[in-house]
Each structure stands twice: as structure tokens, then as C-alpha cells.
Amino acid sequence: MHRVPSSRNFFLSVRLAGLAVLLVCGQWHLPAARAQASGQTMTLLEAVDTALTANLELQKSNKEIEAAEARKKAQRTFFFPTLNATYQAIRVDQGAQLGGAVSGLSQLRSEYNMTAGFSQPIFTGFALLNQYQIADLGLDVAQLNRKLNRLEVIFLAKQAYFQVLKTEKLREVAANSVKVLESQVEVARNFYEVGMTPLNDLLQTQVELANSKQEQIVAQNNLDLAESQFNIVLQRPVNAPVNLADIQIFAPLPNELDYYLAEAEKSRLEISVADLQIQIAEKELGVARKEFYPTISLEGNYFKRSTKWNLEAEEDLLDPDGWSITGVATWDFWQWGRSSFGEREKRSRLSQAKISRDQALFQIRLEVERSYLKARESERNIVTIETAIEQAKENMRITEERYKEQAATSTDILIAQNLLFRTQTNFFNALYDFKIAKAFLEKAIGLEILE
């Protein structure tokens, strides 16, 4: 049997109900304890700059550029003459000649030879030129790959940044839900104690509060994971505190899909890399064809002989020094089809490079369309949900008023609360998913925007 309500308990319940309305309608953003302890706020530009500076893949790209530059310089040296020198010390055992017969005596003799020369390639079947151009194109590929890695790092930093902001907002929504339900439990308990509502209303509210606390735990875990992923992208300690400047400014996409597709085909670096790979394959085909041509080179040598280690001149030594210039032409005209097979292999590699370019173009178009459609979807949801939030807040306020007048039940209150919190959750999901999709679209068209 319910007790008679006292005026003190009644006014206390009304005040608690008002507090619940205030929490639902007025508080959207609760201060996060972890953010407060994290120190200075980091902006999106600072996050991207940090990621670019610390990223290990970019550092590898820099080293690859250095290696490609060294390879190009090394290949250029093959156009110049090669100089060489050889010094020999020879100990000769000679038998003494007596009257045309060899005596049993022997004579030891030392001889020292020094040879210096050069070799200059004249014609190599265009192999040297093609190999140098391959090295030059390889340097261009390394530089473009570095730009590609840079675009990827920028996107990953933006994605991690907005993911943290989204999970922060969802955690705040979950925390708001718990606070409101805790107030609602107090209201329901006071109403029950004064006999204004049945026990079922109180139990139902308590069960909903327990569920909301579980959702708050999940939301906190999601935030922790998002912050850890953010720290990994920025190469920071995985448990470093994260405090990010919020970005809720929303601007719709200014252009339609055809514009972004055209921009991607014009600016996407993967297409440039594929074009360079085709050129490299063409040059390698030229290298494979070098066996169809003779090789011509110019060689020169100067030699000096002496029985003394310092090569002093000796009058009695036959031919003590001399020089020669030689033109050499060689041609392996029969190799059992080796040259033809090699050429056939390189032609197949060239065809593969052309097919890879077409594949890259199809993949780029797919990425652009996917990111564009996702951004448009989130964009429409943002516009729709912004109005729905105001409607849900007004519905919550009216339901609270009706509940105080005993014209609504706890079930009505819980339905209104869930509607408001679900709408807030949908809004933040749409807002930050749009920002992530827009960042991916910028990457998909090869556009570098740091913030």
C-alpha cells in the first residue's frame, strides 16, 4: 500500500525531474578526465605535421630516393673510359746455354712489368643509354612513391584524428545517458516512495541505467583504442595522453562525382608511376635487344719492363716499353635463340606494365566513387539529423512535463531519452564519418591538404 505523499518529497522529485531535463537538453559535451590530464590541445595541422615528421615509411622513402640517385650516378660512369693499371713481379729460373747445349747450371732472374691502359665503350647496342635512362626513370619513381606515402600518411593522420573526436563524442553521449538515467532513477524512487508510481516504473528505470553503464564502458574502450591508434600513427607512446581540438565545422562537397573522377585521372600519382613503369619496361626491352648488335670499344695500353723493381730503363733488355691502341668489335651472332627469348620476355613485361596501368585506373575510379558516395551519404544525414535533434529534445522536454503531471509513465520517459541519445549518436557518426570520407576523397584525387 502506497504511503501518502509529503510536500517535501514531492517538491524534491520535481527538482530532480528538472535536473534530468537540464542534463538532457542542455549538456552535450562532458569534460573528459583523460583529456584534462593530457595538457596542451593538439590541432589537426599539428597532428599531420607530427605524423609526417615521424613516419617510418617516409623515412624509408627518403633512403630509397638516395639509393636511386646513387644508382643513376653509378650508371652514368659507364659512358666514360675505364682506367686500369697492373704491376707484376716475376722470378724466372733459366738454364745457361753452352755451345748450343743446356748445362746443368741454372740462373735466377727477376723481371718487373707495369701495364697501364684504358677502355672506352663506343657502341653497345644502345644498352648503356637504355640502362642509364632506366636508372633515371627509377629515380622519378622513387620520388613519386615518396609523394604517395606522404598522401597516405596525411590521410591516416586525419582518419585517426577524426576517429578520436567521434569516439569522444559518443563517450560523452553515453556518459550523458548514464547521468540522466541516474537522475531518473532518483525521480522514480521518490515517486514510488510517496506512492505516485508503481514499483515496476522504478525497476524498469534501474534496468535501463544498468544497460547504459555497460554502453558507457564500451564507449570508453572504443575511445581508448582510437587514442592508441592515433598515437601509433604519430609514432608516439601508445598510452600517451591525447587532447585534440574539436572540428565541427561542416561544409558540403562543392562538386559532383564527374569532377572528382576527372581530377583523379589528371592528378593521381599512381597513374604517373604506372606510366613510368611502362617507360622502364620499354627501356628494358631495348637492353634485351643489345645482343642483336655488335659491341665496339676502344682500348689503349702502355707497358714497361725492367729487371729492377722501380722500372729503371735498361739498354740490354729487349723491348723494355711500348704502347698500343686497339679497336675491338665483337658480335655473338649465334646463341641458340637466347636473345630472341630474352626479347620475348621483356615484351611480355611491357604488356604487363600496360595492364597494370589500366588496373590502377579502375581502382582509382572505384576509390573516388566510394569515398564520394560515403561523403554524400553522411552529408545528407547531417542535415536531416540536425533538425531531428531539436525535435528529440523538445519531445524529451514535453515527456518530462507530462511525467511530472503523471500523464506519462517511466516507459515514455525512457523511450524519449533513448530517442534523443540515439539521434545524438547518429549525428556525431554522420559528422565525423563525413570528415573521414572527405579526407579519403582528397587522397583519392591526389590532392594534398594538410587540414
In order of their start, the domains of the chain are 7-79+124-294+333-444 (1.20.1600.10), 81-122+297-330 (2.20.200)
Range of 7-16, 34-43, 56-65 with top mean pLDDT: 56-65
450 — pLDDT class (breaks 50, 70, 90): confident
Question: Is residue 14 predicted with pLDDT exceeding 60?
Answer: no
98 — pLDDT class (breaks 50, 70, 90): very low
Phi/psi of residue 39, each to 5°?
Answer: 85, -140
Residue count of the chain, please give it: 451
The pTM assigned to this predicted structure is 0.78
Q: How far apart are CA 214 and CA 217, in angstroms?
A: 5
Task: Give the pLDDT confidence score for residue 451 in this predicted structure.
Answer: 67
The CA distances from residue 129 to 75, 133, 280, 281, in Å, are: 9, 6, 12, 14
The helix (H) or strand (E) run that includes residue 425 is helix 410-444
Q: List all residues 6 or more positions away from 348 whose beta carbon is below 8 Å from its beta carbon.
A: none
Q: How far apart are CA 143 and CA 79, in angstroms?
A: 25
**Three-state secondary-structure class, residue 32:** coil
Tens-digit pLDDT profile for residues 319-335: 678 888 999 898 888 88
Q: In this predicted structure, which of 61-70, 110-119, 384-393, 407-416 has the lowest mean pLDDT?
A: 407-416
24 — pLDDT class (breaks 50, 70, 90): very low
Question: Is residue 52 predicted with pLDDT exceeding 50?
Answer: yes
DSSP 263: H
The residue-averaged pLDDT of 48-52 equals: 94
Q: How far apart are CA 419 and CA 181, in angstroms?
A: 13
Tens-digit pLDDT profile for residues 360-382: 999 999 999 999 999 999 888 88
Task: Give the pLDDT confidence score for residue 25 in this predicted structure.
Answer: 41
Q: How far apart are CA 27 and CA 113, in angstroms?
A: 96
Q: How far apart are CA 168 and CA 244, in angstroms?
A: 10
The residue-averaged pLDDT of 271-280 equals: 94
Tens-digit pLDDT profile for residues 120-148: 999 888 889 999 999 999 999 999 999 99
Contact present, 206 and 200 (Cβ < 8 Å): no
